[in-house]
Amino acid sequence: MISEDDDDFLTEFESEYESDEERTMQTDEEFDWYCHYCGEPNVVWVDLTVPGKQDFVEDCSVCCRPNRIILTSDYDGNYFLDVRQLDE
């Protein structure tokens, strides 16, 4: 009797855990970008919960110059990163 109750509890817990995993949405993404000035590769974390186009400034980790980064997405959920000179 007691062991049967334990099994039921375990099964319920597992199925609940799996559905939680499926519902988890991606809220951020790591993007590679290349410095507009020195051409060195950089990585930036972008918050994907922000709707529409994102336009922000990131300092290059190699030459420390500020790069303007523009992130756009299409209806299929693909993201595009555009790196520009800050004063352009």
Chain contacts with Zn ion (rule: CB under 5 A): 35, 37-38, 60, 62-63
The nearest distance, CB 57 to Zn ion, in angstroms, is 13
Instruction: Give Cα 74 to chain centroid, integer Å.
Output: 15
* Segment (H or E) for 5: helix 2-23
What span, in angstroms and rounded, lies between the C-alpha atoms of 56 and 36? Answer: 14
Nearer to Zn ion, 15 or 41 (CB): 41
The nearest distance, CB 60 to Zn ion, in angstroms, is 3
Nearer to Zn ion, 38 or 50 (CB): 38
The nearest distance, CB 44 to Zn ion, in angstroms, is 13
Nearer to Zn ion, 48 or 83 (CB): 83
Q: What is the residue-wise DSSP string for 30-64?
A: EEEEE-TTT--EEEEEEETTS-S-EEEEEE-TTT-
